[in-house]
Amino acid sequence: MTSHNITIDRRRLLQTAFGAGAAAAMGPRVVFADARSETLVVVQELGPNSLDMQGVGSNQTVNGLSWNCYDRLLSYTAKTLPDGTPSYDRATLAPELAESWKVADDGMSCTFKIRKDAVFHDGTPVTAQDVKWSFDRAVKIGGFPTFQMSAGSLEKPEQFVAVDDHTFRIDYVRKDKMLLFNVAVVVPFIINSTLAKKNATEADPWAMAWLKNNEAGGGAYKIESWKPGSETIFARYDGWKSGPLPTIKRVIARDIPSAGTRRAMLEKGDADFSTGFAPRDFDQLIKDGKVKVSGVPIPNCLWYLALNTSKSPFDNVKLRQAIAYAVPYEQIQSSAFFGRAVPMYGGPAKVEKAAWPQPFPYVTDLDKAKALMAEAGFAQGFETTLSLDVGTATVGEPTVLLIQENLAKIGIKASIEKIPGANWRTTLNKKELPLVLNRFSGWLDYPEYYFFWNFHGNNSIFNISAYKNKEMDALIDKARFTADPAEYDKAVKDFIALCIAEVPVVPLNQPIHDVAMQKNVGGYQFWFHREPDYRQFGKA
């Protein structure tokens, strides 16, 4: 168990983080060299705002903290992408805390054998009771974690059975091909339940207040120090048994909002790894060649313009189609993204493959947009607002300005509304914004998974277009649960075609997740959650 109040020795931090000059001033250079070769210095725009990714309002970086500090029953195997980049393999599961698992002959349960030598960071043995408590928490805590669990038909505590100390079983409520893959995403991490329950209260049975500020895991790293808004230090846990012991002993992750400062630190060799730069910066870093850049199109991810289908005027499908023909796709691709994204426009008129994402057939055609505006009854135009998350302004602001300019050409006067990142998700969930620039990434790389989150009428969390269509719901459900490949293929093609016709969103592109690192840093592996897995890293 660790706390955010724990600090480390200042001298040691300086030796490992600031380079040879600091080391020479404080001790023999060889001491620094040894420590530096086992230390990874990360500079990031925003660090974790919590130590509990299941907590309300936890940010993106908390996903990486959870991934490195907690185990899950299962993980994914690795594969190599066509460009040589190591990546997870969405189709193949791997053991982590569970050394083996077996689905019952009737396909209605799965039994996991827990590693007998696994221990939490405080030395407490990991048991199936900890796994059950953790799964119970995930389905009962509410909000995104609970909805994520339900996306794999993990819905209620009665499904989770601690058979004995090292045997855990999930009883299925229905056959769901995504269930086991969902066990391997970030949410169902295994918590030291004995420790958590000691810090729970009647009003807070899941120890949310305590776990926000304290880590209670058994993963490959533990939190040595956490200073919100400043720095997070991860120390390797030498008692970890769920995989090969990492070669990196310490990770120092500094929060540095200025992209220019982060880039300068990277180019000077004061940092080992960073991400979150503008596409323009990554384009320049590649050209300069001082550091290496790895870029992977994010699976099941889109930048898109969402239209509020539940409110006038965007409840009019012809108007939504007009918007789709007014968007300046190529300008956005070149001026906002510098080509560091996969275009999602100008595709075939007919859906030819059961894959997502794929380009919509729309292209920039202002004459066609004006004609559709007239057909929709808006020949004289109207006024509206176009909203974006300030936290995505690097690419978001030039994108909305280009969209605003083209909408004006067809008579739509759109004022831009900038919403602080801290309020973004809460504001979206109200479903009141008429036009929204947003990005969504589905952890499980399946078309029906993306559509379940974004276009199913029963989903109130990420369906920011407030889109409801019973035909769409039926097609998504069929694709999720059918065992017939032909039926699946048709359902996916049909729901993509319906989305193209109804236009609840206008896809812009599939973003590329770029990271930059020193040339002596190896082992980086792309993951669906887009956070670095420090277990894989090493230094030459």
Q: Same domain for 376 and 265?
A: no
- The reply to whether 162 falls in a domain is yes
Q: Same domain for 307 and 234?
A: no
The length of the chain in residues reads: 540
Q: Which helix (H) or strand (E) holds 285?
A: helix 279-288
pLDDT of 107 reads 96
- The reply to whether 361 falls in a domain is yes
- C-beta atoms surrounding 84 within 10 Å: 7
* Residue 344, domain extent: 301-512
From the CA atom positions of the chain, what is the Rg in Å?
A: 24
The DSSP code for 333 is I
pLDDT of 459 reads 72
Chain-wide mean pLDDT for the chain?
92
- The reply to whether 252 falls in a domain is yes
Mean pLDDT in residue range 172-182: 95
pLDDT tens string 433-461 = 999 999 999 999 999 999 999 999 987 67
Q: Same domain for 259 and 307?
A: no
Q: Same domain for 84 and 174?
A: yes
- The reply to whether 424 falls in a domain is yes
- The reply to whether 352 falls in a domain is yes
Computed from CA positions of residues 95, 99, 104, 110, in that sequence, does the dihedral angle turn out positive or negative? negative
Q: How far apart are CA 200 and CA 19, in angstroms?
A: 43
Mean pLDDT in residue range 471-479: 97
User: pLDDT: is 179 or 7 the higher one?
Assistant: 179
First-residue to last-residue Cα distance in the chain: 32
- From residue 300, alpha-carbon distances to 90, 202, 241 in Å are 11, 40, 32
Q: How far apart are CA 65 and CA 225, in angstroms?
A: 12
pLDDT tens string 2-40 = 343 333 333 333 333 433 333 333 333 333 445 778 999
pLDDT tens string 320-346 = 999 999 999 999 999 999 999 999 999
Q: Same domain for 234 and 336?
A: no
* Alpha helix (H) residue ranges in 51-175: 60-69, 128-140, 143-150
- The reply to whether 113 falls in a domain is yes
Q: Same domain for 191 and 313?
A: no
Q: Same domain for 385 and 244?
A: no
Mean pLDDT in residue range 291-308: 96
Q: Same domain for 232 and 320?
A: no
pLDDT of 35 reads 73
Q: Same domain for 231 and 342?
A: no
Q: Estimate to the nearest angstrom the gap between the alpha carbon of 236 and the chain centroid.
A: 24
* β-strand pairing of 505-517 with 435-441: unpaired
40: which 2 tokens? 């990874």
pLDDT of 499 reads 98
Q: What is the CATH number of the domain that holds 204?
A: 3.40.190.10
445: which 2 tokens? 């790389």
Q: Same domain for 245 and 333?
A: no
Q: Same domain for 209 and 316?
A: no
Q: From the DSSP assignment, how many helices (H) and strands (E) are in the chain?
A: 19, 22
Peptide bond into 434 cis (omega under 30): no
- The reply to whether 291 falls in a domain is no
Report the 3 state secondary structure along 98-128.
EEEEEECCCCCEEEEEECCCCECCCCCECCH
For the CA atoms of 463, 469, 472, 474, the dihedral, rounded to the nearest 10 degrees, stands at: 110
- The reply to whether 437 falls in a domain is yes
Q: Which of 78, 65, 46, 54 is CA-nearest to residue 526?
A: 78
Q: What is the CATH number of the domain that holds 457?
A: 3.10.105.10
Report the 3 state secondary structure along 214-254.
EECCCCCEEEEEEECCCEEEEEECCCCCCCCCCCCCEEEEE
pLDDT tens string 31-71 = 344 577 899 999 998 899 999 999 988 888 999 999 999 99
Say how many domains are in the chain.
Answer: 2
Check pLDDT > 70 for residue 505.
Answer: yes
- From residue 278, alpha-carbon distances to 263, 331, 343, 511 in Å are 11, 16, 17, 12
How much is the pTM?
0.87
The DSSP code for 159 is G
pLDDT tens string 344-394 = 999 999 999 999 999 999 999 999 999 999 999 999 999 999 999 988 888
Q: Same domain for 412 and 500?
A: yes
